[in-house]
Homo-oligomer: A and B are copies of this chain.
Amino acid sequence: MFDYKLLAALAAVVEQAGFERAAQVLGLSQSAVSQRVKLLEARVGQPVLVRATPPTPTEVGRRLLNHVQQVRLLERDLQGQVPGLNDNSTPERLRVALNADSLATWWAGAVGQFCADKHLLLELVVEDQDVGLKRMRAGDVAGCVCATDRPVAGARSVALGAMRYRALASPAFIRRHFSRGVSAEGLIKAPAIVFGPDDFLQHRYLAAQGVEGGFLHHLCPSSEGFLRMAQAGLGWGLVPEQQVINELASGELVELRPQQPIDVPLYWHHWRNGGELLNQLTDHLLGTAPACLIAP
Contacts and interface: CB of A to CB of B under 8 A. Distances in A.
A216 B116 CA distance: 13
Given A25-B214, A223-B225, 10 more contacts: A54-B197, A104-B224, A104-B225, A108-B232, A116-B173, A122-B218, A124-B219, A124-B221, A124-B222, A126-B222
Nearest to A230: B108
Given A116-B233, A233-B112, A107 B176 contact: no
Nearest to A12: B214
Closest 4 CB pairs of A and B: A112-B232, A103-B225, A108-B228, A104-B224
Contact of A218 (B123, B173, B220, B225): B123
A54 B219 CA distance: 14
Interface stretch (A16-24, A39-47, A148-156): A16-24
Interface string A105-147: 1011101110110000111111000000000000000000000
B224 A124 contact: no
Contact of A122 (B90, B197, B219): B219
Nearest to A104: B224
B221 A115 contact: no
A171 interface: no
A151 to B, nearest CB: 21
A48 to B, nearest CB: 17
Contacts of A109: 228, 231-232
A108 B231 CA distance: 8
Interface string A19-57: 001101100000000000000000000000000001000
B124 A16 contact: no
Interface in A181-216: 191, 197-198, 212-214, 216
Given A116-B176, A232-B112, A103 B220 contact: yes
B214 A21 contact: yes
Given A197-B17, A213-B21, A100 B234 contact: no
A274 to B, nearest CB: 19
B222 A121 contact: no
23 contacts: A16-B214, A24-B214, A25-B213, A103-B222, A103-B228, A104-B222, A104-B225, A104-B228, A107-B228, A109-B228, A109-B232, A112-B232, A116-B176, A116-B233, A121-B217, A121-B218, A122-B218, A122-B220, A124-B218, A125-B221, A126-B221, A222-B222, A223-B224
A153 B217 CA distance: 31
B108 A225 contact: yes
Contacts of A103: 220, 222, 224-225, 228
